[in-house]
Amino acid sequence: MKLFGKLVNFEFMRFLPIYITLLAVVFLIEAASVIFYVFMVKSEITESIVKHGLSKEQFLQDNGYASMVNILSSFMFSLPIVIAAVTIFIYILFIWYRDWLGKNTFIYRLLMLPVKRIQLFFSKGVTILMLVFGLVAFQVAVLPVLQVILKLIIPVDYRLDLTTQGMVRSLYYLRFLLPENFIDFIINYGFGIAFVILLFTMILIERSYRFRGVFMAAFYGIGALILVFSPYILQVIMKDYFYDNELLWMQFAIAIVLSIISVFLSNHLLNRKIRV
């Protein structure tokens, strides 16, 4: 377990400089979107009330209260979230290929470590999970800070302050990643972990068989997706026989079974097909 912890720490530290930069970019773009919004609202308040003599009540009736809800649904605020998600997805692929394609084929040094090779697989998976949890925690922590910018510029009579929980519920991807129901949390992250395991296995198939492996990995991935969505195919054939929650649990069960198969297959490839 101690060696496994060192592997996880090693993988995480390799990505840390990029990760810190990514979090900084997320914060700066989100802060810029808040600043742009509040100054636009401030200008509208000045224009309507000071120059045109509109009453506060009439302004609020026409424009509503300024709040973080209006910002969280904007494209500019969503952009850094998309950038972060795409970056982590690319790293899911890069985390393996970096070791093979880097200087002195570093993967062979990793494979010679006195640990079970499947621990390399799990350490990379845990690292990805840590990156996701870290991004979610950072986003939740930043939301109150961003609301302070709103409070500093927009007068209290013209704004609607939200709690952190209220802002989290207003942001779709946080509602998905931090659902109120624990079962939904397990299902959402279960599908995410299954997806990462599937991608890792496809990469190991390609690395084990090279040119043939490209087609084998594609076949494996497509077959897995068909199996995961097979309950909906069955639903069409049986003419809406199942309830929606039954379809979801069938999908989840298939994803779990595929994850277990993928782990065993990856273990076989690491021990039998990839040589030092």
User: What is the DSSP annotation of 131-154?
Assistant: HHHHHHHHHHHHHHHHHHHHHHHS
Residues 138 and 253 in one domain: no
Give the Cα separation of 18 and 36 in Å (integer): 27
pLDDT at residue 104, rounded to an integer: 57
Residues 137 and 205 in one domain: no
On the question of pLDDT at 101 being above 80, the answer is: no
What pLDDT does 41 receive?
A: 86
**Domain extent for 198:** 180-276
**Rounded CA separation 174/26 (Å):** 15
Give the per-residue pLDDT at 189. 93
Asked if 68 and 162 count as a contact pair (C-beta separation under 8 A), the reply is: yes
- Among residues 173, 176, 174, 219, the alpha carbon closest in space to that of 198 is found at 219
Considering 150, 178, 206, which residue would you say is the last residue of a domain? 178
Selection from 55-59, 62-66, 265-269 with the highest mean pLDDT: 265-269
Q: What is the pLDDT of residue 97?
A: 79
On the question of pLDDT at 216 being above 90, the answer is: yes
pLDDT of 275 reads 58
Q: Where are the alpha helices (DSSP H) in the chain?
A: 2-45, 56-63, 68-72, 75-101, 106-111, 118-153, 164-170, 172-177, 182-228, 230-237, 244-268
pLDDT at position 252: 95
Residue 105 has what pLDDT?
Answer: 63
Average pLDDT taken over every residue of the chain: 87
Verdict on whether the full-model pTM lies above 0.85: yes
Burial degree of 77 (CB within 10 A; 0-12, 13-18, 19+): buried
pLDDT of 7 reads 84
For residues 40 and 120, membership in a common domain is answered with yes
Average pLDDT over residues 22-27: 94
In this predicted model, which residue has the larger pLDDT, 152 or 46? 152
* 115 vs 151, higher pLDDT: 151
Flag whether pLDDT at 164 surpasses 60.
yes
Of 131, 154, 178, which residue sits at a domain end? 178
The rounded distance, in Å, linking the Cα atoms of 264 and 261 is 5
Residues 266 and 132 in one domain: no
